[in-house]
Chain A
Amino acid sequence: MTRDRDTASAWTGALLALPFLLFLCGVVAWPLAHLAGRAVTQGEALREVLAAGRYRTALVNSLALSSAAAAASVLLSVGPAWILARERFRGRDLLRTAISLPLTFSGVLVGFLMVVLLGRIGAIPKVIGALTGREMFSGAAYTVGGLFLAYLYFEVPRAVMTLEAAFRRFPRELDSAARTLGAGALQRLVRIGLPIAAPALRSTLAVTFSASMGSFGVALILSRRFTVAPLEIYTEMTGFLNDDVAGALCLALALITLAVDRLLSLGSRR
């Protein structure tokens, strides 16, 4: 009897998961298998992508920029996420909404925002110019620093949202106990919060890293010379009709991202 019920519920589960499995096959497994197949049959393109030059530079740049953006956004988010999750204060919901707002903007929009703020006639250089008599950071939007700031713009909210959810599941009684024993907010965060939150920190790193690796619109608007992999894929496909190199770049980008995510999740199991 029980066994029958178990089998039945297993079948129901499988049936419920079916749309998602089909979706995964259609948009993840099939294209990746296609790319991998091409890379094997036409290894030339993959070798070209991995050899020293523009394509490898793009992959290395993507890796470096995304790692930096992920690390910085997690660092910047720990405090705000902790406060949002643990403290009660007026306007908390409003603050949370405001923080999540940048997530709704597309990369191209964020790129334009950076131009408005830090372009040649950007608002920030103008304000600094009015205050100090010397315009600073004019055109900074088009530098690597500008690109990094733009990435933070949409990665910090992502990190805050992910971390806040994790911090909220944090066992309250431990916190109360520590508070009773006289630990301050900072001490509680460092001694109790962070160790418990380590898996959440790692998964937040993975989420922000992956999102940065795939980001395209920001670099499309801001990049002058510094290039990232998605931008090279676009140029190869649209400017040169070079499907093989574009495909090999896609594959390399996907594999690097998967490998880093895997590393981070291995760490959390230990």
Chain B
Amino acid sequence: MLRKISITLSLSVLAAALALAQGKVVIQYDCIPNYANWGGVTALYKKVSGVTVPPDSKGSSVAMAALEKERNDPQADTVYYSGAIGFQAAAQGLHEPYKPKGWEKIPAGLKDPNGLWWTVHTSAIAFIVNTRALDGAPVPRSWQDLLKPVYKGKIAYDDPTWGGTSYTLVYGLNTLLGGNEKNFKPGLDYLKKLDANVSSYPRESIYNAVLRGEVPIWINADGNGYKMKHVDGGPVEVVIPAEGTFTMPLVMALVKGAPHGEEAKKYLDWLLTSPAQAEFARSYFRPVLPGALPPDIARHFLPEKDYRRARSLDLARMAAAADALKKAWTEQIRGSGR
């Protein structure tokens, strides 16, 4: 573990040092190049402003943990999370209030009234299916379908202690099946049955493994599946399950005590401009600003009637349940560790 941390640390220090050598820099935690097209977005920002935003491979939970550790000596300027984790981090006092330009255009409910966090784009949990890797099994259409023995060893979803997307999945599924922030049983019972078909609970991005067919079914953000299909040309189908699914706001925040605070604010303003929002949309995450979804991207999404089955989740309740639900998941689903 120390090795991993020191490698990550030295890589980020190296990246930051390189960036510094070349000029201005904004450090963002959770800036995974092939997630939500951060690679494209930061490259575009470099082009328009000359400012470098180096890549960073932390998932939401890890990003929050890092900010907590560095509370007295902040290293990051901005941070990106799935909604509930951002909400939780804001509640822990890790963010500086800031209302970027374009703030008023973000729908209420997708931002903190005080500017502690705000949504940049949204996504929905979906099945991302590599149809060529199913070995003849039909494309699953519902959460019930996933339990069928024909999908044994073919399903993966990220460890919810690693990433916010998967925490959204676990929390959402529990509410969908009748549980709430106090009662996790319905969701965990389902996931225990699903476990028979799950090949792994990854703690790193398996985007490429899905594209290659190593993992035929990935329960993850819909945008990742559309991107596999339309950008990488993979034999991929995105399925919104019949019983319903959940939307996930993905949020930004300004880190409290950000070392490059002024540069960071300019960058956060820019993320809400049309060019930046359209660049996010190229990875099929829905821009938060109304009308920012380019038509040639919009036509690749599943029809609106499918998305009517996607419900939004209450971030406050979701954040309150986070630690207990992640612990319960680790104990009951990942199991005894033997």
Contacts and interface: CB of A to CB of B under 8 A. Distances in A.
A58 B214 CA distance: 27
Nearest to B153: A139
B4 A121 contact: no
A142 B200 contact: yes
Contacts of A89: none
B213 to A, nearest CB: 5
Contact of B3 (A115, A214, A221): A214
A38 interface: no
Contact of B336 (A57, A235, A237): A57
Interface in B191-216: 198-201, 203-204, 209, 212-216
B199 A107 contact: no
B4 A234 contact: yes
Contacts of B62: 238
B209 A115 contact: yes
Contacts of A237: 1, 65
Contacts of B1: 216, 230-231, 233-234, 237
B337 A224 contact: no
A227 B337 contact: yes
A61 interface: yes
A120 B337 contact: no
Given A121-B213, A214-B2, A221-B204, A61 B327 contact: no
Contacts, number: 89
A102 interface: no
Per DSSP, are chain A's interface residues mostly helix, strand or loop, or mixed?
helix
B4 A216 contact: yes
> Nearest 10 CB-CB pairs, A to B?
A239-B161, A227-B337, A230-B1, A57-B337, A238-B62, A216-B1, A238-B65, A234-B1, A233-B1, A225-B335
30 contacts: A54-B331, A54-B337, A57-B338, A61-B337, A61-B338, A106-B3, A107-B4, A120-B214, A120-B215, A121-B212, A121-B213, A139-B199, A216-B1, A216-B3, A217-B3, A220-B4, A224-B200, A225-B335, A227-B334, A232-B337, A233-B1, A234-B1, A234-B203, A235-B161, A237-B65, A238-B65, A238-B161, A239-B61, A239-B161, A239-B162
Interface of B: 1-4, 7, 61-62, 64-65, 68, 133, 153-154, 159, 161-162, 198-201, 203-204, 209, 212-216, 323, 326-327, 330-331, 334-338
Given A216-B2, A224-B201, A239-B65, 17 more contacts: A57-B336, A57-B338, A58-B337, A61-B337, A108-B204, A121-B133, A121-B214, A216-B1, A220-B4, A224-B198, A225-B337, A226-B338, A230-B1, A234-B4, A237-B65, A238-B162, A239-B162
